[in-house]
Amino acid sequence: MTESKEFGWHFNNSYIRLPEAFYAKTDPEVAPSPELVIFNHPLAESLGLDAKSLQSERGVDVLAGNRIPEGAAPIAQAYAGHQFGHFTMLGDGRAVLLGEQITPEGKRVDIQLKGSGRTPFSRGGDGRAGLGPMLREFIISEAMHALGIPTTRSLAVVVTGAPVYREETLEGAVLTRVATSHIRVGTFQYAAARQVVEDLRTLADYTIERHYPEVAKEPNPYVALLQRVMEKQASLLAKWQLVGFIHGVMNTDNMAISGETIDYGPCAFMDTYDPATVFSSIDREGRYAYGNQPGIAEWNLARFAETLLPLLDEDSEKAIEIATKTLSGFAKMYHDHWLAGMRNKLGLFNEEQQDAQLVKDLLKVMKNNQADYTNTFRSLTMDDLNALPMCKTPEFIEWHASWIARLERQPESDSAVKQLMRENNPSVIPRNHRVEEALDAAIKGDFSVMEKLLDALENPYAYTAEQEKYISPSESTTPYRTFCGT
């Protein structure tokens, strides 16, 4: 069934022009009794969609997958991936890409229904999703956007009226996800594994045209593509680390070529600072721990570079040399982004050689004293040292004196310093216990807790009185664990 453009859809679908091996035409499964439970009005308007119409019965049918809008071309995308280091051929097992919306600003974005039923890539799964995990992605992805971190977005969550069977019976739901694209490192791994070089070249050319058109005129556009993806990931990973975000499952199929954060499964934000922090129940070896994330990004990029080898140079040895040389720049690239971000968090406008050591010393004090990551920087920003339990320890007093001396060596005023710090140190993050509190209430039918949390997270750098109740970490002594939701 097709639907008119009354909802503001303006589809122009380019991915389906790739070789058919990259996708499978797939319609979402019918949801027996869909009901809208949360809707993102500002995002809808930015996409050029009619928010009021989309919340009507006919609109909810579209968001549930029961109606296919005019111009849509539903597909499930094929990709591969290294999952916890092991290579697997994959694909959208529980998601359907409706099509590519052209926004009023002329931007192209994917509109995807996640949890909309089985696809040819489901591998025995039901293709469904529970309400809790879809609401979690809504909360975390929108919080990340508010924090200024590149991310996929969440337009809506609809309950389907169909149960989902996992360890227990869950209420089924569909999330409408918006992304610059869903091209992943795993998409290139899929193309490389098929060993059809022309298809690989077609994918690379398409990616360049869609995301990095400026590299098309480079002497070797594929080397330039690798370089640009590295730059995007270096910046992204630094932003994750600077706010204490832990993705939880950094498989290669969860690394977007666009540089957006994608797939919010067992993700969480770190409370007590510790580089070894792991929340995911399936990450038993700590592969994707907070402190390992930059290194894993580099490992994933090496897998991306491997897929590009046939395009980098006809001579395989020279291609490897080119890829190796390009990848060698990632560590410094990441560190530069991270250190620049840390300077901002500490109110430093200029650069001094000892800045990296100043940051390292602070993190050491924080780890030794089991300090809360976000609230430490928040307290420094607000000059509220009494809020820091470690404020009277000799090592913190020594560090604080060094920091003050460093600030005094720059010409900027104290008010300018505090403004810079406020712009880079969030007052509030989606605390894990607050997210769970919101999800528990929503699953029982009370969405007010989630709505209030989203309001508090909408402007994390505002430092408002309304955010105060959301700044404290959990008092529970039980280790927090997250689950992937599949």
Q: Give the model's confidence band at 430: pLDDT under 50 very low, under 70 low, under 90 confident, else very high.
A: very high
- Of 253, 263, 283, 372, the active-site residue reads 253
Least Cα distance to 115 among 182, 65, 44 occurs for 65
- Residues above pLDDT 90, as percent of the chain: 91
Is the pLDDT at 225 greater than 70, yes or no? yes
Residue 401: in which H helix or E strand, if any?
A: helix 394-408
12, two tokens:
């122009």
Sign of the torsion formed by the C-alpha atoms of 67, 72, 75 and 77? negative
pTM: predicted TM-score of the whole model, two decimal places: 0.95
Segments of 200-262 assigned E as strands: 245-246
The pLDDT of residue 484 is 59
Residue 437: its H or E element: helix 432-443
pLDDT at 377 over 80: yes
Whether the CA torsion 15, 17, 22, 23 is positive or negative: it is: positive
Stretch 179-207: mean pLDDT: 97
pLDDT per residue as tens digits for the range 254-275:
999 999 999 998 999 999 999 9
Contact 14, 182 (CB under 8 A): no
Q: What's the whole-number mean pLDDT along residues 376-388? A: 95
In this prediction, residue 445 has a pLDDT band, given cuts at 50, 70 and 90, of very high
Comparing 3-7, 95-99, 242-246, 316-320, the range with the smallest average pLDDT is 3-7
Q: If you average pLDDT over residues 9-27, what whole number do you get?
A: 97
Q: Please, where are the H alpha helices in 291-393? A: 293-312, 316-327, 330-345, 355-368, 373-382
In whole numbers, what is the pLDDT of the chain averaged over residues? Answer: 95
Task: List pLDDT tens digits, range 119-162.
Answer: 999 988 999 999 999 999 999 999 999 999 999 999 999 999 99
Contact 443, 171 (CB under 8 A): yes
Mean predicted confidence (pLDDT) in 193-207: 97
Domain ranges of the chain: 2-179, 185-328, 432-470
Q: Is 253 a catalytic residue?
A: yes
Q: Round to whole Å and give the CA distance between 372 and 374.
A: 6
Model confidence at 282: pLDDT above 90: no
Number of H-type helices and E-type strands within the chain: 16, 13
pLDDT per position as a tens digit, 56-76: 999 999 999 999 999 999 999
Q: pLDDT of 432-442, one tens digit each?
A: 999 999 999 99
